[in-house]
Structure 1
């Protein structure tokens, strides 16, 4: 069966929603919207901040037996270098720490620190220093980059294709950054592209759809060209789109097999 649950979010009832949003945005570096607060996408650390009703005091989790600090949200980092960088970032912005970095030799070893938010919720960040500790480049695709000639038109088209908001804070001169749900980014870059010829390209992106035929109709309605029509294999269906700059996108749907 195809994947059905894409991510989950921890819900925190807070006493002052505006104060909490500012803390998570300005101190902890979260991307905060009216719907959620997330760092590294909805598959990174993702929260919903709900205004508590008048008279209700938020109740953070108590410590487990033998512990000195309760944990409400747990985050994991791949290396201690990444964990240390996160700690220094939070510290430089005035974060409040319920626990400074500590190493637990019997658990990996495991290194962890704990941040406290304005309502006393505790966010733990930790990880083991595994075989990738010597690598400064993380083993993940951070962004996909598409070159486009008309940035405004491309931003509008891709926003409609994936149902994404277009926000002023995501525009950096001739580059626009879409923050995707899985923590990666789509960068549309128009630097030096005025009048550039359209090259022949293979697929640069693969996007997932829940209904392949509907996805095709929607994409064509947004001005994309069909580069390869829908093909159905035993476990997957797919088609290719082409935008006006020659970028090719593969759209797939996993098929349920009995």
Structure 2
């Protein structure tokens, strides 16, 4: 059976939801919506902030035996360079630190600092200096970029295809940014594309997953995509390819669950 749990979120009851959302957004750099607060996607550090009922006082975790600071949420970084950069970012925005960066020689070594939110919850950030410490380019794809000619139509089409919210704060002139659940971004860019001809054919640019391949095909067609390769069914995966009006080709796949 394939992976059944894609991500998890820590739930924090807060005394003032507006204050907490502002802190996580403006000080800690989280992407904050009505549903969650996340940094680097739902597979990064993801939280649900719930307004505590009147009279309820948030209760952060107590310190474990022998420790001086309780931890409510733990985040991991791959290198100390990334950790140091995160610390400097938080510091420049006025974050409150419950623990300054410290190195524990017996655990990797492990380096960590702890941020405190308005309700006293403690968010720890730490990690070992991994094998890629010599490399300044991270081993993850931050964004996929699709060139489009009509930005409004493309934003509407892709938001419907993947069930994404369209937000004004994600529009940057000729470019729109979708923040995907796994921490990557989909960028639709119309800069200088007005007079560029649509290619007759091109390579696959994106691969998206579905849990119902037949339904996904109907939905894609309904949103204005052209099916350029009909559903192919193999022992381990089914897939089909679609094309948008700008010539961008997307593969939709469904893994076959082995019984």
The two structures have a TM-score, normalised by structure 2, of 0.99
Number of the residue aligned with 1:253: 254
2:80 maps to what in 1? 80
Determine the structure 1 residue equivalent to 2:9.
9
Separation in 1, partners of 2:62, 2:172: 43
Alignment of 1:50 onto 2:47: no
Map 1:29-178; keep pairs closer than 5 Å: 29-178=29-178
Instruction: Give the distance between the partners of 1:154 and 1:3, measured in 2 at CA.
Output: 31
What's the counterpart of residue 179 of structure 2? 179
Residue matched to 1:235: 236
Secondary structure of 1:74's counterpart equals strand
Q: What stretches of structure 2 of length at least 5 have no aligned partner? A: none
Segment of structure 1 superposing worse, 25-34 or 194-203 = 194-203
CA distance in 2, matches of 1:220, 1:130: 45
Give SS of 2:182's match: coil
Kindly state the Cα deviation for residue 2 of structure 1 after the two structures are TM-superposed.
Answer: 2.0
Give 1:17 deviation, angstroms: 0.5
Aligned residue pair count: 258
Taking the aligned partners of 2:245 and 2:133, their CA distance within structure 1 comes to 42
In the aligned structure 1, how far is the partner of 2:34 from the partner of 2:161? 21
Match of 2:202 in 1: 201
How far off its partner does 1:110 sit? 0.5
1:17-39 deviation digits (Å, cap 9, x = unpaired):
00000000000000000000000
SS of corresponding position for 1:61: coil
Aligned-residue Cα RMSD (Å) equals: 0.6
Give the deviation of 1:101 after TM superposition: 0.2
TM-score computed with the length of structure 1 as normaliser: 0.99
> What residue in structure 2 maps to residue 218 of structure 1?
219
Residues 211-257 of structure 1 show CA distances to partners (whole Å, capped at 9, x for unaligned) of 00000000000000001000111111100000000000000001111
Deviation at 1:150, TM superposition (A): 0.5
Instruction: State the shift of 1:5 in Å.
Output: 1.1
- How many Å separate the matches in 2 of 1:130 and 1:223? 45
Q: What secondary structure sits across from 1:218 in the alignment?
A: helix
1:101, 1:201 → 2: CA distance?
49
1:160 aligns to what SS in structure 2?
helix
User: Any runs of at least 4 consecutive aligned residues in structure 1 with deviations exceeding 4 A, and if so which?
Assistant: none
